[in-house]
A and B are shown apart, each in its own frame.
Chain A
Amino acid sequence: MAHFTKATSVHDWLNQRLAIDTLQRVLSKEYWIPKNINFLWAMGMVLAFTFGILLVSGIFLLMYYQPNVDTAFDSVNYTIMREVDFGWLWRHVHAVAASVVFLIIYIHMLTGIYYGSYKKGREMIWISGMLLFVAFSAEAFSGYMLPWGQMSYWAGMVITNLFSLGSLEFNGLVEWIRGDYVPGQAFLDRFFMLHVLLIPLAILGVIGLHFGALRIPHVNNQDGEEFDFEEEAAKYKAGNKKESKVIAFANDFLSKDMFVVSIYLIFFFYLVFWHFGFAMDPINFDPADGLKTPPHIYPEWYFLWSYEILRPFPKDPGLVAFGFAQVIFFLLPWFDRSPNAVPASRRGLFFFWFWAMVIDLIVLTAMGKLPPVGVYSLIGKVAAYAFIALWVILPFITRNEKRV
């Protein structure tokens, strides 16, 4: 057994038992962050904060929500919204955070793509990040079911039908997932479980992996410059802070991170109090009805781009294209053949590829919201083909990239 001495303070008492000094050193004081990064690198912290907000507001909603097909709708729209003191606040906070979290995830992802932060030893950071994206998507979808409104019901119907895998007609699988022929009580109960327990657990685990994946390759920087972290850290510790290219995570870097987070929170609560409506679909204020489809079904804005890739094709090719869109981003580190981990602006053709992808995603998102008629379906079709084409040409345009 370790040797314990009489503690001289509470700090010392804890330190002997939990090694809090070592923890603090490893996790914050000697966790090195490059100096040369901009505010876009703070999105990780913004996401961590938003996840915390979702967790807390979710706990408060959980105390009054009832996962029952007869009472779910009223427990949300009446009990929580009108009876529970500040119930409306938790709901709006939860709904806005669920929507905004995707905005930040997309910014975080596109930052990673722009600066090449998925390359050369950073593949695991990228893959664990994409796993988080998938887990958050599943979390968002299962949460969307819970108010049991019309959009919940029909989104549940349409998305679970995807699992019949087109002409393969795996209807048994669909009924197994639902626990019924149509979304019903069994479906609501199990999605409730997924939303409040299983998926959040998985998310916490993958967040751990994502952070862990950063430790060895370290965070990228704005110029993609490779430097020796130990050497730079040594300079810093020797008091040569000016020359060192790194700073400590806490409190140096954290203060900047928190500055960005506080600006973000102002924006966030502005949305919560004045524009919460954008995160709610009017159709979901009608209770679920299995005998009436809303005229036009579309997902929340953050899924529109992949939905639009599904829509313009016949059933089977549509599913293949949709599946392609779901997995292709995972493979980015291998599709991009160039060895350069520098900003897109210094990478020639890749720069145009990046912005073409951004524009294509925006077009897909816009078309996904519009009804599938006339010129909109045409634009949607072109954008869906363009998405696939962009991925196909990526290895070719990056293969011959000059070394910088």
Chain B
Amino acid sequence: MGKVFGAVAGVGAVGALYAMKKSWDPLPSVKAAGFTTIDLSAAEPNKLMVEKWRGKPIFVLKKTPEMVAKQSAEQTARDIVVNGDSFLICIGLCTHLGCIPAYREAKLDFKCACHGGEFDSSGIETKAPPPSPMVIPPFNVKGNTVVLGEEGEAYRKMKEAGVLA
């Protein structure tokens, strides 16, 4: 009797826990709302544009030719080139605890006010606590626009080169 009860209770408990776990997962409608198209023709050099994708802010920064010229190889590897212009496109959340860093046009960098983290104009962290660069979301370049949420050719190349995070 005891064993039968134990078996029934065990199966029931596992089933209930599974259902509870799944009920807390993001809803399908939330997961599906995944694609955003950004028109880059309006972007001005060295002016930060902020868009929204999956509820998160997306930083779009068109770089000036001087900025591109001064970049290191590591920085250039993160550039997204659209119609000959270089862009930084990344999720605008600090990789420390997720605050939104502010762009400082004069210093060409991002400052996270929460705990003092800093990133350069390619989103690479230059001052702790953030442990890694700001994340580049999946993108696909189409003419003068990028679609976020879609993995295009350039994105896959970046992924292979390991420069996304």
> A: which residues have CB within 8 A of B?
154, 157-158, 161-162, 166-167, 175-182, 184, 186, 190, 290-293, 295-297, 311, 313-316, 318, 371-373, 377
Contact = CB atoms under 8 A, between A and B. Distances in A.
A297 B56 contact: no
B52 A291 contact: yes
Nearest to B91: A181
B51 to A, nearest CB: 9
Given A161-B98, A292-B100, 20 more contacts: A154-B99, A157-B97, A158-B98, A176-B24, A179-B26, A179-B27, A181-B54, A184-B30, A290-B57, A291-B50, A291-B100, A293-B113, A296-B114, A297-B113, A297-B114, A313-B129, A315-B129, A371-B113, A372-B115, A377-B116
A270 B25 CA distance: 45
B6 interface: no
A30 to B, nearest CB: 40
Interface in B104-123: 113-116
B55 interface: yes
B19 to A, nearest CB: 14
Nearest to A172: B25
Contacts of A186: 26-27, 30
B133 interface: no
B27 A311 contact: no
Given A184-B55, A315-B131, A293 B26 contact: no
B47 interface: no
A311 B26 contact: no
Interface string B36-64: 00000000000000101011110000000
B112 to A, nearest CB: 8
Given A190-B24, A296-B113, A311-B115, A182 B56 contact: yes
B30 A179 contact: yes
Given A162-B97, A167-B131, A297-B99, A180 B116 contact: no
A292 B128 CA distance: 21
For the complex of A and B, the 4 pairs showing the least CB-CB separation, nearest first, are A182-B55, A293-B100, A315-B131, A181-B54
Nearest to B101: A293
A161 B130 CA distance: 13
Contacts of A190: 24
23 contacts: A154-B99, A157-B99, A158-B98, A161-B97, A161-B98, A166-B131, A176-B21, A177-B24, A179-B24, A180-B55, A181-B55, A181-B56, A182-B54, A182-B56, A186-B26, A186-B30, A190-B24, A290-B56, A293-B99, A297-B99, A313-B129, A318-B129, A377-B116
Interface in B67-98: 96-98
Nearest to B52: A291
A377 B128 CA distance: 13
A314 B131 contact: yes
A175 B50 CA distance: 23
A166 B116 CA distance: 17
Contacts of B52: 290-291
Contacts of B98: 157-158, 161
Contacts of B55: 180-182, 184, 290
A314 B129 contact: yes
Nearest to A291: B57
A13 B79 CA distance: 84
Find the residue from B27, B50, B97, B128 having the highest chain A CB count within 10 A. B97
Contacts of B113: 293, 295-297, 371
A268 to B, nearest CB: 33
A318 B115 CA distance: 12
Contacts of A316: 131
A300 B25 CA distance: 29
Contacts of B128: 314-315
A321 to B, nearest CB: 12
B132 to A, nearest CB: 8
Contacts of B30: 179-181, 184, 186
Nearest to A318: B129
B8 to A, nearest CB: 26
Contacts of A162: 97
A190 B25 CA distance: 12
Contact of A158 (B50, B57, B114): B114
A290 B130 CA distance: 20
A205 to B, nearest CB: 19
Contact of A180 (B21, B26, B57, B97): B26
A167 B132 CA distance: 9
A370 to B, nearest CB: 12
A92 to B, nearest CB: 29
A378 B115 CA distance: 13
B96 A181 contact: no
A373 B116 contact: yes
A315 B95 CA distance: 9
A293 B116 CA distance: 13
Given A180-B26, A181-B55, A315 B114 contact: no
Contacts of A377: 116
A315 B26 CA distance: 27
Contacts of B100: 291-293
